[in-house]
Amino acid sequence: MRSSTAILFLLATTSVAAQLTDCLPPVSQAELDINNVRAQINNGLQHFEDNGDAAYQVPKVAIGEPGVHSIYADGLWIGGYSSDEQLHLAAITYRSGGSTDYYPGPLRTDGLAESNEDVCEAYDNVYVVDRSDAILHREYQLLLEQVEAGADPSTWMLSTCQASKQEPEVVFL
C-alpha cells in the first residue's frame, strides 16, 4: 500500500456509557503513515496517544529512533441540550480510569442508547483504505446508478473488460 494514498475510516458512534456496561472500551487502532507524518489512530476517538506515549510524529523517523511529537493526544468532545433542556456531554479525557463515553457500533433506532458486548466487539475496527479502494467504490456506485436508470449492464461490462486487456490500469467492475 502506498502511504501517500492512505485514508482511514473509523466506524465509531457515540453512546451513553452508563447504558453500555456490557461493552468494553474500544481497543482497535491503526497507524496513519502519510506525507512524513506518523500518527496513531484509535477507534475510541482518542487519537495520537499510544498507552500514555505521544504518537503523532512530524517529521517521522525510523521506528525506535527518537522523534518530535507535536501533539500528545486528541479527543473528541460532543455536547448538546436534550429536549428537556438538560446539557449532555460525551468526552474523552485521556481514558483516565480506563472508561470512555464512545463505543463502536450502531445505536438502536427505538431511542434507547443500548448495545451489547457482541455488537461492540464486531464494530471495534479501524479500516485502512487506499486510493484504489475509493476509486472502486465510486465506480461501483456510478454503475449502480446507470442500472437503476435503465441501462443494460451487458453493454458496458463487455467494453470495460475489453479495455482492461489493452490498458495497463486496473478497470473496476
Whether residue 35 is predicted with pLDDT greater than 50 in this model: the reply is: yes
Q: How many helices (H) and strands (E) does the chain have?
A: 3, 13
Cell 478497470, located at residue: 171
Q: What is the mean pLDDT of residues 134-162?
A: 75
Amino acid at 23: C
Least Cα distance to 35 among 68, 2, 8 occurs for 2
Looking at residue 81, its pLDDT comes to: 93
Looking at residue 86, its pLDDT comes to: 93
More confident residue, 90 or 7: 90
CB 74 within 8 A of CB 91: no
Whether residue 16 is predicted with pLDDT greater than 50 in this model: the reply is: no
Q: Could you read off the pLDDT of 102-144 as tens digits, one per residue?
A: 888 887 777 776 778 888 888 898 888 888 888 999 988 888 8
Whether residue 162 is predicted with pLDDT greater than 60 in this model: the reply is: no
More confident residue, 9 or 42: 42
**1-10, 25-34, 131-140 — which is least confidently predicted?**
1-10
Strand 126-129 versus strand 7-10 pairing type: antiparallel
Q: Could you read off the pLDDT of 42-82 as tens digits, one per residue?
A: 888 778 887 778 888 999 888 888 888 888 888 888 899 98
d(CA 106, CA 114) in angstroms, rounded, equals 9
Whether residue 9 is predicted with pLDDT greater than 70 in this model: the reply is: no
**11-15, 90-94, 108-112, 143-147 — which is least confidently predicted?**
11-15
> Any idea where the domains of the chain sit in the sequence?
3-129, 131-166
Whether residue 1 is predicted with pLDDT greater than 70 in this model: the reply is: no
